[in-house]
Amino acid sequence: MSRALRILLAGILLLGSVMSLSAAENAPLVRGTAITDPDVLKRLDQDDVLTISRLLWPERNANFPLTNDQLFAWLPQLRDIPPAIDAEFDRYIARHKAVSPSETIGVGDGFDVQLFDRLSLKSADTRFVLAGIVNRMDRAYVSQESCGEIRLIYRLARFGPGPDGGSTATRLPMTLNLVMKARDARQTDGSGKPITCAELARRWLENGDWQSLIGSRTAPYDAMIDRIETNIQISIAPKSALHDFRSDYLLKVFKYDPATKTFVESTLENQIDRDRILADDALRHDFKAWLLELANLREFDRGTVQIPEQYLAKAAVAPTPAGLDGSALQPEFGLVEGERNSDPVFTDDDIVGALKQAAARGISMENIRSVAGFQRRLNDVTCSGCHQTRGIGGFHFPGVDWLTEGASTATIVPASPHFVGDQLRRRDILTAFATGKHPDFSRGFASRPQTRGSRELAGTEYQDGWGAHCSLQNAGSGTADKSFTSWTCAKGLTCQAAAASNRIGMCFIKTR
């Protein structure tokens, strides 16, 4: 066995001991689908078991996490990430100055638009802290061979001296996800047999199996690495006479290249490059033809579509709050007829015609049953559109805050309502894998979870309780939009308009 694998397998023994103590404490909704126990995450991080540096550089002698100045200087795999992020910042600043020349932009409270301090990425006082582990075997439809993904989520934090000789830690608005394949095809169990998706799912549902996360003796460790995803709160603009409060989040993806052993800038999955498509007649024609082709339209409806790279962007900025009404803050705005664009990619007739053709071929649509449904799916299938949906300030998983125990500013919950509401679907897929059934990978809209017949979410903010999204009747028509007719409110609540939109509202207590 290699020295690197001995280090990693030693980590398994430590992790197994903590997991046995914490398994019963895991919230039922995330059982088998996520690790959010602060004690487990703290120990894995502080004992250098699942830090970024240990996973990407397992043969190193040190047994402590690397600070960011060391991380990016000592690990050649990461060398392309900081300059790619710098380039996005430069483009963002240039765009802002062109659009809003009267507003100042820079790092610090003295600016109208306050930028994230990029020096934090290269500082000796900062490092990435393990904030959560998320099982995404529900994404096995992307690559059946790998059985989906496991995401290790790290939050950037600044450390400094505290009172009485102690130290303080402050979480910064950036997450980095190290995305691993759930398994490598060459991975084996203790008897030498290949580990199946069914076995993997059973281990997660029972108690978590960490050998499956970090590989086995027979699989090269870097064969498990897929990509790094970054999410940075690139700027904050406090409320002023010119605009309401706004916060922008920069999303980037870096795919791992095993040949060069580096992370290379890549397109974001399903992040439609709206501006480029609208500006290129040939591209818009091809994109429309591709998406409305019945096989692709069906996967689009199910939420499992994989849009080809030629239509995608390598970066996205997700402004929040974006609101319920259509606006240029939403990534699909302008692609569909009626959104203040005289030359859209998709007309109402295009969409209605495609839906009629699907029905004639016996293809049942689960979510998209109207133009409004098509428009909503076009928005939430993108990375930035999904991050605008019931997220916590642009993060669906800001992570467990085990650094600031007792602090009034600590994050109380690790994830957004969208994340929590989706756990039943994810667990349903794990259960199907574990019992040898073919999973149903479909998902509803990001703002309304699928319950798959379960009533665990009934009466809660995630499904039909106070604050849940619900269906309003179309103004003047007296009929509800077919894409949202099932979006009802629990007894005692009523669906009320939360914005000018005449389709989607929120569940509130009835008032006289």
Report whether pLDDT(56) > 60: yes
- In the three-class reduction of DSSP (H, G, I as helix; E, B as strand; rest coil), residue 202 is classed as helix
**Phi-psi region at 439: left, alpha or beta (left = phi > 0; alpha = psi -120 to 50):** beta
Q: 424 and 30 in contact (C-beta within 8 Å)?
A: no
Q: 21-35, 51-65, 138-152, 228-242: which range is least confident on average?
A: 21-35
Tokens in use for 488? Answer: 């009802």
**What pLDDT is recorded for position 186?**
73
> Residue 235 has which token pair?
């700027």
Q: Is the pLDDT of residue 15 over 60?
A: no
Question: Comparing C-alpha atoms, which of 240, 236, 201 is closest to residue 96?
Answer: 236
Among the listed residues 327, 304, 313, 442, the one whose alpha carbon sits nearest the alpha carbon of residue 381: 304
Check residue 491 and give its pLDDT. 92
pLDDT at residue number 6: 39
Measured distance CA(367)–CA(166) in Å, rounded: 54
Percent of the chain with pLDDT over 90: 62
Percent of the chain at pLDDT > 70 equals 87
Residue in this structure with the two tokens 């290949």, named with its chain if needed: 194
Q: What is the DSSP string of 392-447?
A: BTTBS------SSTT-TTS-SSSS-HHHHHTHHHHHHHHHHHHTTPPP------TT
Q: For residue 180, what are the β-bridge partners?
A: 150, 225
Query: In this predicted structure, what is the pLDDT of residue 161?
Result: 86
pLDDT for residue 130:
95
The tokens for 251 are 């999303």
pLDDT digits (tens, 9 = 90+) for 250-279: 999 999 999 999 999 999 999 999 999 999
pLDDT(434) > 90: yes
Q: Specify whether the CB–CB gap between 315 and 231 falls below 8 A.
A: no
Residue 85's region, left for phi above 0, alpha for psi from -120 to 50, else beta, is alpha
Q: Which two tokens stand for residue 7?
A: 């280090």
Looking at residue 16, what is its pLDDT? 40
Residue 340: band (very low, low, confident or very high) from pLDDT cuts 50, 70, 90: confident
Q: How many CB atoms lie within 10 A of CB 294?
A: 13
Greater confidence, 367 or 166?
367
3-state secondary structure of 5: helix
- Quote the pLDDT of residue 305: 98
H or E element in which residue 317 lies: strand 316-320
- Looking at every residue in the chain, the average pLDDT score rounds to 86
Confidence at 65, pLDDT banded by 50, 70, 90: confident
Instruction: Inform me whether the pLDDT recorded for 13 exceeds 90.
Output: no
| pLDDT given at position 193 | 81
Helical (H) or strand (E) element with 155: strand 149-161
Query: How large is the average pLDDT for residues 32-51?
Result: 88
Strands 105-106 and 113-115: parallel
Query: What integer pLDDT is reported at residue 156 of this predicted model?
Result: 97
* The one-letter amino acid at 469: H
Question: How far is the C-alpha of 159 from the C-alpha of 295, rounded, in Å?
Answer: 51
d(CA 345, CA 276): 12
Q: Assess whether pLDDT exceeds 70 at residue 422.
A: yes
Q: How many residues are there in the chain?
A: 512
pLDDT at 214 over 50: no
Question: CB neighbours of 302 closer than 8 A, spacing ≥ 6?
Answer: 366, 367, 441, 442, 443
pLDDT at 332: 93
Determine the pLDDT at residue 27: 54
Using the structure block, give the residue that is written with the tokens 């706004």. Answer: 246
Give dist(CA 182, CA 142) in Å, integer.
12
Residue 501: per-residue pLDDT? 64
Which pLDDT value is given to residue 507? 93
Q: Would you put residue 70 in left (φ > 0), alpha (ψ -120 to 50) or beta?
A: alpha
Question: What's the rounded mean pLDDT across residues 391-397?
Answer: 85
- Average pLDDT in the 328-334 region? 91
Q: Cα separations (Å) of 292 from 12, 305, 345, 393?
A: 47, 12, 11, 33
State residue 37's pLDDT score.
86
Q: Which of 98, 120, 127, 324 is nearest to 234 (CA)?
A: 120
pLDDT band at 445 (very low <50, low <70, confident <90, very high): very high
Strand partners, 229: 177, 253
Q: Tell me which of 21 and 374 has the higher pLDDT.
A: 374
pLDDT at 24 over 70: no
Report the range of poorest mean pLDDT among 41-50, 184-193, 325-334.
184-193
The pLDDT assigned to 478 comes to: 59
Q: What is the pLDDT of residues 82-126, one digit of tens each?
A: 999 999 999 999 999 999 999 999 999 999 999 999 999 999 999
Nearest to 79 by CA among 111, 122, 109: 122
48 in Cβ contact with 64 (< 8 Å): yes
Asked if pLDDT for residue 369 goes beyond 90, the answer is yes
Of the candidates 432, 498, 488, the residue with the CA atom closest to the CA atom of residue 465: 488
With 90 as the cut, is the pLDDT of residue 166 above it?
Answer: no
CA–CA distance from 107 to each of 115, 117, 356, 374 (Å)? 5, 6, 53, 40
- Name the residue among 188, 230, 192, 237 with its Cα closest to residue 212: 188
pLDDT over 80 (residue 404): no
337 pLDDT higher than 70: yes
The answer, yes or no, to whether residue 217 has pLDDT greater than 60, is no
pLDDT of residue 107: 97
Pick from 321, 323, 352, 320: nearest CA to 336: 352
Residue 488 confidence (pLDDT):
92
Sign of the four-CA dihedral 347, 349, 355, 357: negative
- Of 79-88, 171-180, 332-341, the one with minimum mean pLDDT is 332-341
Sheet with 469-471: list strands edge to edge: 469-471, 504-509, 493-497
Q: Between 512 and 362, whose confidence is greater? A: 362
